[in-house]
Amino acid sequence: MMITQMDKMSAPPSWERAQRLYDKITELESRRRRSAQARVPSDPNAWQQIRENYEAIILEDYAFSEQHNVEYALWQLHYKRIDELRSHFSASMASAGSNSSHGLKGPTRPDRITKIRLQFKTFLSEATGFYHDLIVKIRAKYGLPLGYFSEDSENRIVMDKDGKKSADIKKGLISCHRCLIYLGDLARYKGLYGEGDSKTREYAAASSYYLQAASCLPSSGNPHHQLAILASYLGDELVTVYRYFRSLAVDNPFSTARDNLIVAFEKNRQSYSQLPGNASAPKELPARLTGKGRGKGEATPAVKDNNTEVGLVKERSSSNQEKYKAFCIRFVRLNGILFTRTSLETFAEVLSVVSSGLYELLSSGAEEELCFSSDAVENGLFIVRVVSVLIFTVYNVKKESEGQSYAEIVQRAVLLQNAFTAVFELMGHVLERCVKLGDPSSSFLLPGILVFVEWLACCPDVAAGSDADEKQSSVRSKFWNVCMLLLNNLLSSVPMSIDDDGDETCFNNMSRYEEGETENRLALWEDFELRGFLPLLPAHTILDFSRKHSFGSDGHKEKGARVKRILAAGKALANVVKVDQKAIYFDSQTKKFVIGVEPPMNGDYMPTSFSGMANTNDNLQENQVENTANLGVAFPKPELTTGWG
């Protein structure tokens, strides 16, 4: 948009300087085009001058830069050069391959590929240095702290009383966020055209830049989209889908992710079709292997020497890896059916093999085994991501679409029934496994369970499930049976963690919070992992993200905070869920969750869910959630059942 003469007279000096720089860029670009048309060499310094002018505009006037999309234009300047070098490299590789296949001995230039690769790598390294320097300059201009980006950057903006300073910090964060995305892309290109360890190293660097970008601006879906691309390079279908889902479930979604998801799900469909045993679903879950021995119907081989024992361990490990890979492919397929709304007739079969696969992977006995990888942190992260994918699937299906046809409305109802059935059946396995542990409070499953129960407390309609069909009612009944057992187990292991007279939690009267940190405001590693994820936004509103956190490492304080939040969510859910026409209550006298027997009211505690809290201001009020309609499900016997068919 051109500014009028009057606008020019009232424009700030910085805008005028930016406009002059922009005019110089336009002139330089015009000269380059004329040189290209005339097929004469252009000024070798023109590219550098254009880049310097773009940088100067960014640092001169933020409003002008945003209006003219200067940061993106600067990246495009680099990307055009990258694209040229990629084309030269691909042409050289194709030429070498063609000559080799035809056995030609013509003039060869064996060093040409190496030379182009080096030229490409040099340019990417120089561009990386440029963007690092630009971040330093942006930070200096807008008063951002040096060093690693703090996850509480957006919190500082909100709480800063100086309006101008807050606005400047916001501008700087947005610019740094984009620079980090570009740095990640540069590292990713280095990896694509690198070799051996270099490829792995550059992908790790790209991931680090994207994660910093996500931490810098959690409301942006762009970094998650780029992380999905990286995961697709590595062939990790589950993480690819998880990151694409994350890129859509934020305040500023990256819309391209939806198209890329269709491609990813189609690729997964082909992977699924190649798995053995998918023709028909198993009719029952496999027998659980108990203790250190094998199942009753399987003979335990005699161990004759150490070599035999080592061989058995390797064989078991290899078998678990195959089961893990198969589970991931099938789990992605399950969510792909609900996302693409195709092949719905196969849903029950796919859910059956996913359910039995998860059940078989989860270890047994009182001691927890690392069943998804050899690293405890990775096991916990895997469960958190599985839970998040399930949550997004429901969130995506639930979203109302205006102008739906009758057929689409009917299909949406079917999709919701299927999504709820899958979510409660699979999460039932996770909770059941946790119940059987000697110390559930230390389980790697607990972070994922916290995410799930807090999401249910955010969505009381999902927790209540008043429209459940017969299959869904059955798995819901089993889920709530196991959930009550787990909550009471946690109460017995940490008896003082749900004292009504103690610290408030995010489900109680939030108006009684102090400004200082409380245990329940402590952001845990799973909160950092899922920061910006819209389905959990109400649960994250009061959390303190200002501290530096070490991913996956929990101390006594973190474990206590996690248990307290799970129990607080359970108290809120007890006020919502009914089983067999009987409400679930928390008895503050006996410190237990009970069914059908309403305890006497004690004190002024009134449990509430997160619903209605996302759009509140500082003065938050308690909301007493009414009991929901009868679910029509029978509560199972106290003994845990394992038939999650």
Is residue 304 in some structural domain? no
Please identify, among 254, 278, 300, the residue that sits at the C-terminal boundary of a domain.
254
Residue 624 is assigned to a structural domain of this protein: yes
What is residue 553's predicted lDDT score, i.e. its pLDDT?
Answer: 65
Whichever domain contains 165, its CATH number is 1.25.40.10
pLDDT-based confidence at residue 402 (cuts at 50, 70, 90): low
pLDDT tens-digit profile of 298-322? 333 444 455 555 554 455 566 788 9
Chain mean position to CA 186: 23
Q: Does some domain include residue 315?
A: no
Q: What is the pLDDT of residue 300?
A: 38
What's the pLDDT tens digit per position in 197-211? 889 999 999 999 999
- Whether 107 shows a pLDDT value over 60: the answer reads no
| Domains contained in the chain, number | 2
CA–CA separation, 221 and 250 (whole Å)? 6
Residue 37 falls within a domain, yes or no?
yes
Which range among 120-124, 160-164, 619-623 shows the weakest confidence by mean pLDDT? 619-623
Domain's final residue, options 254, 274, 296: 254
- Residue 401: its pLDDT value, please? 67
| 322: enclosing H helix or E strand | helix 306-340
- Tell whether the model's pLDDT for residue 541 goes beyond 60: yes
CB 138 within 8 A of CB 58: yes
φ, ψ for residue 548, nearest 5 deg: -75, 135
Closest to 244 in 3D by CA, of 259, 230, 225: 225
174 is in which domain, residue-wise? 12-94+113-254
Counting residues of the chain whose pLDDT is more than 70, the rounded percentage is: 74
Q: How confident is the model at residue 111 (pLDDT cuts 50, 70, 90)?
A: confident
363 or 440, greater pLDDT: 440
Mean pLDDT value across the chain: 80
Query: Encoding tokens for residue 4?
Result: 């009028």
pLDDT band at 513 (very low <50, low <70, confident <90, very high): very low
> The tokens 């990258």 sit on which residue?
82
Mean pLDDT of 371-380: 86
pLDDT for 152 equals 54
For residues 266 and 268, give the distance between their C-alpha atoms in angstroms, rounded to a whole number. Answer: 5
For the chain, how long is the longest CA-to-CA vector? 94
Is residue 527 domain-resident? no
Q: Which amino acid is located at 619 in the chain?
A: N
What's the confidence (pLDDT) of residue 510? 39
Q: What's the token pair of residue 219?
A: 């409301």
Mean pLDDT computed over 512-533: 74
| Residue 298 and residue 316 in contact, taking contact as beta carbons nearer than 8 Å | no
In the structure, what pLDDT confidence band is assigned to residue 540 with cuts at 50, 70 and 90?
very high
Most confident range, picked from 250-259, 358-367, 632-641: 250-259
User: Mean of the pLDDT values across residues 215-229?
Assistant: 96
Q: Is residue 456 part of a domain?
A: yes
The yes-or-no verdict on residue 433 having pLDDT over 60 is yes
SS3 367: coil
Two tokens, residue 26: 């336009």
Backbone phi and psi for residue 593, each to the nearest 5 degrees, phi listed first? -90, 130
| pLDDT score, position 307 | 55
Each residue of 61-106: pLDDT tens digit? 999 999 999 999 999 999 999 999 998 888 877 776 555 554 545 4
> Rounded to two decimals, what is the model's pTM?
0.83
Adjacent-strand bridge partners of 594 = 585
Kindly tell me if the per-residue pLDDT of 618 is higher than 70: no
User: What is the phi-psi region of residue 523: left when phi exceeds 0, alpha when psi lies from -120 to 50, beta otherwise?
Assistant: beta
User: Which two three-digit tokens encode residue 556?
Assistant: 């006594």
Radius of gyration of the chain (CA): 29
164 — pLDDT class (breaks 50, 70, 90)? low
Establish if 268 belongs to a structural domain: no
What would the mean pLDDT of 31-35 be, rounded to a whole number? 87
Q: Which of 607, 561, 566, 564 is nearest to 583 (CA)?
A: 607
Distance of alpha carbon 632 from alpha carbon 344, whole angstroms: 26
Q: Which of 220, 238, 254 is the last residue of a domain?
A: 254
Range in 102-111, 200-209, 242-251 with the lowest mean pLDDT:
102-111
Q: Is the pLDDT of residue 150 over 70?
A: no
Q: How confident is the model at residue 354 (pLDDT cuts 50, 70, 90)?
A: very high
- What is the arithmetic mean of pLDDT over 22-37? 91
Highest mean pLDDT pick, 37-41, 210-214, 408-412? 210-214
pLDDT confidence of residue 286? 52
How do residues 561-601 score in pLDDT, each as one tens digit? 999 999 999 999 988 888 777 788 888 878 888 877 777 76
How confident is the model at residue 299, as a pLDDT? 38
In a domain, 311, yes or no: no
Model confidence at 364, pLDDT cuts 50, 70, 90, reads confident
Lowest-pLDDT range of 4-8, 196-200, 254-258, 567-571: 4-8
Place of tokens 């999401």: 455
Q: Say if residue 361's pLDDT is above 60.
A: yes
- Out of 221-230, 280-289, 490-499, the most confident range is 221-230
Residue 517 has pLDDT above 50, yes or no: no
- The pLDDT of residue 552 is 61
